[in-house]
Amino acid sequence: MRGLLACAMLAAMTSAAVTTAATAQVSDDVVRIGVLTDLSSWGRDNSGPGSVEAAKMAVEEFGPTVLGKPIEIISADHQMKTDVGVNIVRGWFDNGKVDAVVDIPNSGIAIAVHNMVRERNKIALLSGPGASSLTDELCSPNTVHFTYDTYALSKVTASAVIKEGGKSWYFITADYAFGQQLEKDATRFINEMGGKVLGGVKHPTNTADFSSFALQAQSSKADVVAFANAGQDTDNAIKQSGEFGLVQGGQKLVGLLMFDTDVHAIGLKAAQGTYMTTASYWNMDEATRAWSKKFFARTNVMPTMIHTGVYGSVLHYLKAIKAAGTDDPAKVMAKMRELPIEDTFVHGGKLREDGRVIRDMYLAKVKTPEQSKEPWDYLEIIKTVKGEDAFRPVSESKCPLLKK
């Protein structure tokens, strides 16, 4: 009897030790994800509350726990201000026990947080920012650039428009890191394909009156007027360019970063014929339609590629924690690079050592009002571009992580 009791006690102690070892694999007994987004400024519709809901939908799809521990989504508004965003993330790391930061529309804020994440040994899952420098000269082993970047946007769009005869270009560019990088990347591909840039103008973010910029673009006589901006700036710029008759005068309009929500805001009449590149579209197949309708029921908008990127990056992060058996950042990042990326919108994606997710991109053209058959039926997918052809190749990279 005593022997049996001793064995039972030993088994209980062993079980407790195993349980303790297992639970120790998740820091602070919770996986906490912070969605840093724009809830009140010009990028709100393209990310904002939709990004928060997309993160929650990823958790719901994965399950409420990982490694037996709860998953918590918190969020905050960076207001498109770098100091505000940095202070929020610092507080999350110092006091909030946040393990990963998600989204971050605005490249200037994203770059600052990207550097902080590396210093604090946390993880950044970036869907909102576009600056391709994040995975080039600024690359970090702790950052995942999940959705799009300025390199892919400009390469896919510029290549297609030049092939259609758009040889001369004029830029209307937002005067901050993202806009400047987007114009720089686009200029490179324009020159390489035999086109030329006739000029351009830079504007502050959150500009309401684009009339003088539209007139300058019109007077340039450029074949193409390209908008290297985002959010309400893009909406206002394209609307007002339409009012000044740029398209009727024979100029092509190109939104180097546009979303479904931008087309919705501009309207098909003003936006029709505009070229854009996207990483996802809600109306691709039955699976994307079903997911998007659930998203719409929660947000009253169809998902942008930022929203689907938040969903996909959070889902892949949770899968990696499960596979690694821990939320240790280095081990999780290793698993994220090892596992193929599979979700409703990405198939066969791959996380490269520089943090760039290699995934298919889509060249799209905004439909005419007559072509649209239902609400939010805005885009005609012209071409699927493989990730290897869309994003910066290893041979061009300045990232030391790819030189090992």
SS3 274: coil
Same structural domain, 226 and 369: yes
Same structural domain, 45 and 104: yes
Report yes or no on 317 lying in a domain: yes
Q: Report the C-alpha gap between 288 and 264 in whole angstroms.
A: 19
124 forms beta bridges with: 101, 143
Report yes or no on 173 lying in a domain: yes
Report yes or no on 400 lying in a domain: no
> Which domain does 57 fall in, by range?
31-148+285-355
Same structural domain, 336 and 375: no
Report yes or no on 11 lying in a domain: no
Same structural domain, 163 and 235: yes
Report yes or no on 21 lying in a domain: no
Same structural domain, 143 and 160: no
SS3 364: strand
31 forms beta bridges with: 71
Same structural domain, 141 and 189: no
CATH number of the domain that residue 175 is part of: 3.40.50.2300
Asked whether the beta carbons of 100 and 28 are under 8 A apart, the reply is no
**What's the domain count of the chain?**
2
Return the pLDDT at 1. 45
Sole residue written with tokens 């990326």: 341
Same structural domain, 251 and 368: yes
Q: Report the C-alpha gap between 146 and 143 in whole angstroms.
A: 9
Return the pLDDT at 247. 85
User: pLDDT tens, 10-62?
Assistant: 444 444 434 334 444 999 999 999 999 999 988 899 999 999 999 999 999 99
Return the pLDDT at 404. 60
Report yes or no on 95 lying in a domain: yes
Q: Report the C-alpha gap between 132 and 316 in whole angstroms.
A: 21
**pLDDT tens digits for the chain (404 residues)?**
444 444 444 444 444 434 334 444 999 999 999 999 999 988 899 999 999 999 999 999 999 999 999 999 999 999 999 999 999 999 999 998 999 999 999 989 999 999 999 999 999 999 999 989 999 999 999 999 999 999 999 999 999 899 989 999 999 999 988 889 889 999 999 999 999 999 999 999 889 999 999 999 999 999 999 999 988 899 999 999 988 889 889 999 999 999 999 999 999 988 988 999 999 999 999 999 999 999 999 999 999 999 999 999 999 999 999 999 999 999 999 999 999 999 999 999 999 999 999 999 999 999 999 999 999 999 999 999 999 999 999 999 999 999 86
Report yes or no on 292 lying in a domain: yes
Specify the DSSP element, H or E, that contains 197: strand 196-203
Same structural domain, 70 and 96: yes
Same structural domain, 175 and 264: yes
CB atoms within 10 A of CB 114: 26
Specify the DSSP element, H or E, that contains 184: helix 177-192
Return the pLDDT at 385. 96
Same structural domain, 234 and 382: yes
Report yes or no on 13 lying in a domain: no
Same structural domain, 126 and 36: yes
Return the pLDDT at 42. 83
Return the pLDDT at 240. 92
Same structural domain, 322 and 365: no
